[in-house]
Structure 1
Amino acid sequence: MKILFAPNSFKESLSSVQIVRILSEEFAEIDGEKILLPLSDGGDGFLDVIDFINSDKCRSYFFQNEFGGIISENKVLINATTEELFIESAEVIGLRKLPLHLRKPMNLNTYALGNLIKQVIAARNNSQLSYFNKIIFGIGGTATIDFGLGTVEALGVKFFDKNKNLIKPVPENFLTIDEINYSDFQLSLLKDVKISCIADVDTPLLGSNSAIELYSNQKGAGKEEIDKIKKGIEHIANLLLEKKIVSDIFALNGAGGGLAAGLNIFLKAEIIPSKSFISDLLLEEIDITEIDYLITGEGKFDIQSFEGKATGELIKKFSPKVKNIFLVCGMIDENVKDLLPENVICFQLVDYFTNTAEAIKNAEIGLRSVSKKIFQLLVSQ
């Protein structure tokens, strides 16, 4: 028996690395080979996964930053062998950085991420950290919906209204922006650095069923705010279209509240879909034909999980090859259960508690309870 443990993180609860370690303990006595492969689609836990896979090559560095009025340390990783620096957007501007009462996306932007870019470049140039010539961003789990404008604001881009007043680029102000000025843009800081983004979704930023409509509510935006954010980003995108900086506003990637699209436009970053990242890097040494069982999961599994997210991609890839897939999630949307292949067996942590909040708080207890059930199913086969 060969079992692949490949979960994604449970947002605001357990990282994928924590989950595989718990599963490893619970299945210690199983008769078979266990392969531990925590996953990331660029969102929460991205750095943990990179460090787990390359633990002998990576070194952590910490930089102080401010986001949403809260000062904290931001971790980055450098793989000195490949000269790559890894940044997780959720570590800098993520939902987990803010308590509920501060999750107000109309007044938040990604300035902290741009400030971190400046800090790591300065530290590299002063030999305070290992040399790197690539920056790889994990994009996902952000509390922001700002099209990456805050990031480039930190790098010197200025925004003005029609009366030439300087405007802070937060969604509340987007519709008043009339001019984007690049005269102080410090793009030269990155002249020798290649930038890539691992995007957790393929969903377009704008248009029908846009990323703004699908994901803004979980960031704290109400319906009226979502409408205003969408109109504001359309306005900014059209300003860029007029200047021929973008060619199609409906082809923009929606990951990270438009952060991936903004990094692509302003910093020439390559956008890498998470399914490519998972297949080409995380799964490159896994022979699917040798796997008998897959245990995977994420915090909430719904129709969006099939939009390029890690767990959905694994189910598509492995279901024709393995005997069973055990899908372990905090919650599984009833509407998607009929879309799952017949060999997928579902488990929800919420079934072990009285409500969702209790399940999140006690996720490890729930996971261990589910693991015992799966263990019994495996030894009985």
Structure 2
Amino acid sequence: MKVLIATDSFKGSMTAFEACHAIHEGIKNKAIETRLCPLSDGGDGVIDVLVFSNNVEEIVVDTIGPLGQPIKAGYVIDWPSATAIVEVAEAAGIVLLKYEELNPMITTTYGVGALILDAIDKGCRKIIICVGGTGTNDGGMGLLSALGVKFLDKRKKELPGCGASLTKLRTIDVESLNPKLVGVEFVIASDVQTPVCGPRGAAIVYSPQKGATPSMVKTLDKGLANYANILSKMYNIEAKELVGGGCGGGLGLGLQVILKAEHKQGFDVVDSYVGLEEKIKWADLVITGEGKIDEQTLDGKVPYRVAKLAKKYNKRVIGLCGKNELNKKIEEFDEIYSISEISKEVGQAALQHGYRHLKRLASRLSF
């Protein structure tokens, strides 16, 4: 039997590659042939997934992290198409912050700009920006500042690119945009459809997990609304209505409006390099998964997209996860099993021992 293992990361516990490897270790003694295909929906971990596909070259540069600390961050280049794929989390990710450092009022996406400029200097004419896993809520002000855009307060004083500046913003000067960007195509890769502000917006939905207190959430949402209003007047659009404007802490809004970036599904962008469909055709059985399978999974997250494609070719599909919160049968999955069914560990202990538990869960599968 030929088995394709194609999972997303198990957030807070395992990368996509680690999860795939744990499953492989669990089933390798069953006299079967396996192929590993770690996946991403365009969020954190996408660089590792693309490097594993062997179709790109990783470039590492010096830049700054979300608190301005010096770091090294990577991106990848697909040389035949002169395309760079930049993962925002590499320079602005929540994983770069300690718990006590989480504060979306002061964190910034500025460091991502250095990756983009380096790619352009190397000849890239298309930049795919994978948005996810950020520890920021600056609306992309940091990144855009690094590219030359000036954000000014009521006294025409330049503002730092961080969440706290959003409510102070009065004017945006795009005339100072770096001329290197002329003729460069930008794409946002994200499966998040969140608007920039309001009840379903970036601040209210996502900033609490980035360290925002209730009062910070209100300030950040007000700031993003202010940001959107200014952009709406500048470009004669309804910026608040842009699909995906809230992805990456509002990064999607700034990129779509100022850099004219096209918003694409993150999974589709990754799959264009991974070639999942051909791998599924090869397999008899497909195993997929992520940390939690729930109703959001059915909105197009990695396991559901894998399962749906596998069913196109009538493949058996098994979903593995840390926790299964679906209370109904999903036709795309033949079976779903969770670590919570075999382990009583919860919280941080469960996350720390995720690899071991997933390996044991996989070893219990019947083929």
TM-score (norm 2): 0.89
SS, match of residue 4 in structure 1: strand
TM-score (norm 1): 0.86
Letter in 2 for 1:296: T
From 315, 319, 323, the equivalent of 1:327 is: 319
1:50 is matched with 50
Contact 2:88 2:130 in 1 (8 A): yes
Letter in 2 for 1:197: I
1:128 is matched with none
SS, match of residue 250 in structure 2: helix
SS, match of residue 80 in structure 2: coil
2:78 is matched with 79
Gapped regions of structure 2 (runs ≥ 5): none
Q: What's the % identity of the aligned pairs?
A: 30
Letter in 2 for 1:215: Y
Contact 2:7 2:20 in 1 (8 A): yes
Q: Deviations over 1:345-370 (max 9, x none)?
A: 22126852532211222221112111
Letter in 2 for 1:119: D
* Closer, same or farther: CA 191–183 of 1 in aligned 2, 3 Å: closer
* Closer, same or farther: CA 207–316 of 1 in aligned 2, 3 Å: farther
Contact 1:142 1:256 in 2 (8 A): yes
Q: Deviations over 1:200-236 (max 9, x none)?
A: 3223333443343322222222333222211211111
1:7 is matched with 7
* Closer, same or farther: CA 272–290 of 1 in aligned 2, 3 Å: same
Contact 1:291 1:322 in 2 (8 A): no
Query: Does residue 1:161 correspond to 2:153, yes or no?
Result: yes
Q: Tell me by how many angstroms 1:39 deviates.
A: 0.7
Mapped partners of 1:304, 1:45: distance in 2: 19
Contact 1:299 1:331 in 2 (8 A): yes
SS, match of residue 64 in structure 2: strand
Greater CA deviation, 79-88 or 363-372?
79-88
Q: Deviations over 1:115-157 (max 9, x none)?
A: 33233434x2xxxxxx433222221111112221111111222
* Closer, same or farther: CA 60–288 of 1 in aligned 2, 3 Å: closer
Q: Tell me by how many angstroms 1:323 deviates.
A: 6.2
1:203 is matched with 194
Mapped partners of 1:152, 1:143: distance in 2: 17
Letter in 2 for 1:84: T
Contact 1:3 1:291 in 2 (8 A): yes
Contact 2:4 2:37 in 1 (8 A): yes
Letter in 2 for 1:306: L
Gapped regions of structure 1 (runs ≥ 5): 125-130
Contact 2:131 2:190 in 1 (8 A): yes
1:118 is matched with 117
1:99 is matched with 98
SS, match of residue 64 in structure 1: strand
Q: Tell me by how many angstroms 1:23 deviates.
A: 2.5
Runs of 4 or more above 6 Å deviation? none
Q: Deviations over 1:296-325 (max 9, x none)?
A: 111233333333322232344445765653
- What RMSD in Å do the two structures reach over aligned CA positions? 2.6
Mapped partners of 2:210, 2:291: distance in 1: 15
Contact 1:12 1:96 in 2 (8 A): no
Contact 1:298 1:328 in 2 (8 A): yes
Q: Tell me by how many angstroms 1:290 deviates.
A: 6.4
From 197, 213, 224, the equivalent of 1:222 is: 213
* Closer, same or farther: CA 112–62 of 1 in aligned 2, 3 Å: same
What are the equivalent positions in structure 2 for 1:282-301 lying under 5 Å apart?
A: 282-283=274-275, 285-286=277-278, 291-301=283-293
Mapped partners of 1:203, 1:292: distance in 2: 36
Mapped partners of 1:350, 1:255: distance in 2: 33
Query: Does residue 1:137 correspond to 2:147, yes or no?
Result: no
Contact 2:2 2:283 in 1 (8 A): yes
Letter in 1 for 2:109: T
Contact 2:195 2:240 in 1 (8 A): no
Mapped partners of 2:177, 2:120: distance in 1: 15
* Closer, same or farther: CA 191–339 of 1 in aligned 2, 3 Å: farther
Mapped partners of 2:305, 2:5: distance in 1: 15
Mapped partners of 1:157, 1:41: distance in 2: 29
Query: Does residue 1:270 correspond to 2:269, yes or no?
Result: no
From 302, 306, 309, the equivalent of 2:294 is: 302
